[in-house]
Amino acid sequence: MSATNTAPLLALERLSVRYGGVTALRSLDLVVHHGELVTLLGSNGAGKSTTLRAISQLVPAAAGTLRWNGGVINGLPTERTVKLGIAHCPEGRRARQSVADNLELGAWLRRDRNAIRRDLERCYSLFPRLAERRTQAAGSLSGGEQQMLAIGRALMAQPTLLMLDEPSLGLAPKLVAEVMGALSNLHADGLTILLVEQNAQAALDIADRGYVLEAGELSLEGSAAELLGNPALREAYLGTG
Amino acid sequence: MQDLTQLLLNGLSTGAVYALFALGYTLVFSVLGVINFAHGAVFTLGAYFTYFLIGGAAGANGLLAGLQLPFALPFWLALPLAGLGAAAVALLIERTAFAPLRQRNADPLLALITSLGAGVVLVNLIQLLVGAESYAIPTGALAGLPAAVRIGGAQVRSVQLLLLLVAAVLLTLLTLWIDGTRSGKGLRAVSEDPTTARLLGIPSDRMIQIAFGLSGFLAGIAGGLVGLSVSIAGPYFGIGYGLKGLGVLVLGGLGSVPGAVLGGLIIGLAEACVPADLSGYRDVVAYGFLFVVLLVRPQGLLGRVLPSKV
């Protein structure tokens, strides 16, 4: 057990992913330690979503190793990664069912009814807008509310690691701040988070560390403060030369 | 008045069979997005299973000529067992005609061809084993029940009432199961978005197997009841019902459970309105009705406009 305690929660070692003949991710090394908020930055098509999909085993790793608490998890079925404690918030959303049904579905693997009810209330206090709309169909929510719903649903699985795929996508600046604020609070409560973002400024403002992908390869990594001060990154992603 | 009662009950009991049939399609369609064309053969098998379980003997023209089980079960026991047997066959079809394609990430539409193939194999297997002749499930199987009862002055066959009753119970149970249980909710989640469902920890493979098992059970029960009601016309017996079930499915709206029930009842009633001396035109009425509805509502009666899926 002592070995697993010191191992990072999640470690990607020289991970590569290919779609047909196209290499989407090339030899990526990335670690997430317990309690960290790590952000994965890059432009469209850089391989950020692919990284999350590989961790959730939605796409197979063409090469390299995926470790969870030190143990290799390559080839595990997706639903088993959820059991391990990995919650992956994808970009898509379930539209037809109500907000409450959606949240409850997030707890599908759990059987502790009382704790589920408590977590449901916690979700509503984290995102009061969801509480107001609990009987509404998820498809009728605004973009920001849908994003909150997706995060809330992922939290209902009581994850050890929360992975988010561009939660700020298409949101007004005020809502981006609200979503990032919620993530920051969850991080402060001890949740480990891997945040994929194009909005580098918003992500680095709340992150401990960051990685930058470019065309499927790692181009930069460092603490959030280092990355925020990096001239190359500022020019490429923050729009300030 | 008595003619109307008669007509209504005839229509409803036929419609109930169509509904059971269409629900089987719906269950599989909702999780996989494709039609299982072997479904009609499973229905046929359900009828044969029932026939043999109540002690019927095989005719002279198949490999199993003269075979008879050493026991004869009462119908009320034989029917659910036949349903279970049909469910097992449906699971086998899933493993052989559907799962291998899924594991290779093949286009889901290819399953149309493989399931059609599985259906052809099953139908020919039946012919090989028990011949192409028709089998009558003796109505005496309903021991203790009178052949017909009078309702509102109309003579109604007990078989028809039984059909209606069983269909109603199964449809109710299925709806309760989908809306109220953990696996039912998992099934719905897989039907809305399989990838998201997996990311929530819902094992989509198991949900798909549950859908096949249930659809096979419903088809087997429907087959046994129809076999009792009108006799088994041969190995191709299920095909006509299968096509009608497809019509019902499209009429009600693809993937909609209440739609399948409504569509079944409507087509059953529409057919019952065709006078007996014009009974050759029944299918014209059923499909003509379908045609007109689809002109007005292409998504079917209770179907949603399908979201474009990437």
Which residues are registered as beta bridge partners of A37?
A: A193
Q: Read off the pLDDT of residues B102-141 as tens digits, 9 standing for 90 and up.
A: 888 888 889 999 999 999 999 999 999 999 888 988 766 6
What's the pLDDT score for residue B299?
85
- Minimum CA–CA partner of A164 in chain B: B199
Q: Is B81 exposed, middle or buried (0-12, 13-18, 19+ CB in 10 A)?
A: middle
Is pLDDT above 60 for A80?
A: yes
Strands (E), B140-230: 148-151, 154-157
d(CA B123, CA B130): 11
A83–B contact, CB cutoff 8 A: yes
Tell me whether residue B138 is in a domain: yes
| B window 188-247, beta carbon within 8 A of A | 188-189, 192-193, 195-196, 198-204
Beta-carbon neighbour count of residue A201 at 10 Å? 15
| Complex ipTM | 0.87
User: What is A134-171 written as a DSSP string?
Assistant: TTSBGGGS-HHHHHHHHHHHHHTT--SEEEEE-TTTT-
Select from B199, B203, B204 the Cβ nearest to the Cβ of A90: B199
Cβ pair B201:A108 closer than 8 A? yes
CA distance A88 to chain B (A): 6
Q: Read off the pLDDT of residues A151-198 as tens digits, 9 standing for 90 and up.
A: 999 999 999 999 999 998 888 899 999 999 999 999 999 999 999 999
d(CA A109, CA B200): 8
Residues in chain A: 241
Cβ pair B185:A101 closer than 8 A? yes
DSSP annotation of A17 reads: E
Q: Which two tokens stand for residue B142?
A: 């309903």
* Tokens 């084993």, located at residue: B129
Tell me whether residue B303 is in a domain: no
d(CA A110, CA A44): 35
B185–A contact, CB cutoff 8 A: yes
Strands (E), chain B: 148-151, 154-157
Of A220, A214, A212, A224, whose CA–CA distance to A187 is shortest? A224
Residues A71, A73, A77, A81: what is their CA dihedral angle, to the nearest 10 degrees?
60
What predicted TM-score, i.e. pTM, was given to this entire model? 0.86
Q: Which two tokens stand for residue B86?
A: 């049909």
| A window 120-159, beta carbon within 8 A of B | 153, 157
Cβ pair B196:A94 closer than 8 A? yes
Q: B204: which chain A residues are within 8 Å (Cβ-Cβ)?
A: 79
* Residues A165 and A177 sit within 8 Å (Cβ to Cβ): no
Domain limits for position B217:
2-296
d(CA B21, CA B126): 20
What's the pLDDT score for residue B169?
93
Q: B195: which chain A residues are within 8 Å (Cβ-Cβ)?
A: 58, 90, 92
Tell me whether residue B307 is in a domain: no
- How many domains is chain B partitioned into structurally? 1
For residue A20, give the amino acid letter.
G
Select from A58, A82, A93 the Cβ nearest to the Cβ of B200: A82
Q: What domains appear along chain A, each with residue ranges and CATH number?
A: 2-85+159-238 (3.40.50.300), 93-153 (no CATH)
**CATH number of the CATH domain containing B241:** 1.10.3470
A78–B contact, CB cutoff 8 A: yes
Residues 6+ apart with CB under 8 A from A8: A31, A32, A33, A34, A67
Cβ pair B200:A101 closer than 8 A? no
What's the pLDDT score for residue B105?
81
Which residues are registered as beta bridge partners of A217?
A: A214
Helix (H) or strand (E) holding B272: helix B257-272
Tell me whether residue B255 is in a domain: yes
